[in-house]
Amino acid sequence: MHNPPFPQESAALTLDGPVGPLDVAVDQPTGDAPVQPIVAVICHPLSTEGGTMHNKVVTMVATSLRALGITTVRFNFRSVGTSAGSFDHGNGEQHDLAAVVAWVRAQRPGQQLWLAGFSFGAFVSLKAAAALQPDAQISIAPPAGRWDFDGIQPPAQWLVVQGEEDEIVDPQAVYHWLDGLDAPHALVRMPDTSHFFHRKLIDLRGALTHGVKHWLPGADTGTA
């Protein structure tokens, strides 16, 4: 299979993945913000529990970043939608992510790569970070205590967002895990917020916007 060029407009397309086709959605920046030289690849939650690139948290991450001038790429891991293959407990899914990133970098050379992930997608993207070397990373409800996070090497620009009333990922396990890491990070604790950010998606958008806008090229990083 021959991979398509990077689309100039928002589009759904199919890439050649490690075990067959991968469903991909590219969304261009929206609004009046200057277009940034950044592509963010976003990973969805657990495939075996209905997670897809159309998950409402994943799409809100994309919406938030696009409003900042960032191009976003969502995709279905193997076994989801029409993406080929079988669920592989995060191992093969890292190869799926690597294939998407390789395509992005070939098509958009010189641009920054950001990785983002929600729940299982946060796990996969963090485990892949050492190999993929993103410029920035966003981890929403990373399932510490449920999956093996040993050996992760996130970039210096790393934002973690955790709901305080998460019924699937133990918030205290996340905080304890972060406290034990020798890795700089910004943590946003969202009160009264469940795992899927029910009635809190707009608040999530605000947390993401505030948390990453100073990473944008040319942003004022002063504290005054």
The answer as to whether 2 is a domain residue is no
pLDDT of residue 224: 40
- Read off the pLDDT band of 127 (50, 70, 90): very high
Q: What residues are paired with 25 via a beta bridge?
A: 12, 74
Which pLDDT tens digit goes with each residue over 191-209? 999 999 999 999 999 999 9
Q: What's this model's pTM, rounded to 2 decimal places? A: 0.96
What pLDDT, on the 0 to 100 scale, is given for residue 31? Answer: 85
Percentage of residues of the chain with pLDDT beyond 90: 94
pLDDT of residue 221: 55
Residues 179 and 152: beta-carbon distance below 8 Å:
no
Q: Does residue 216 fall inside a structural domain?
A: no
Confidence band of 1 (pLDDT split at 50, 70, 90)? low
Query: Number of folded domains in the chain?
Result: 1
* Residues spanned by the domain of 206: 11-211
Chain mean pLDDT for the chain? 96
State the average pLDDT over residues 1-7.
89
Residue 3 located in a structural domain: no
Residue 221 lies in a domain: no
CATH number, domain of 196, equals 3.40.50.1820
Residue 124 CB partners (closer than 8 Å, separation 6+): 43, 77, 90, 93, 94, 97, 117
For residue range 38-88, what is the model confidence (pLDDT) as tens digits? 999 999 999 999 999 999 999 999 999 999 999 999 999 999 999 999 999
CB-CB contact of 43 with 22 (8 Å)? no
Tell me, yes or no, whether 223 lies in a domain: no
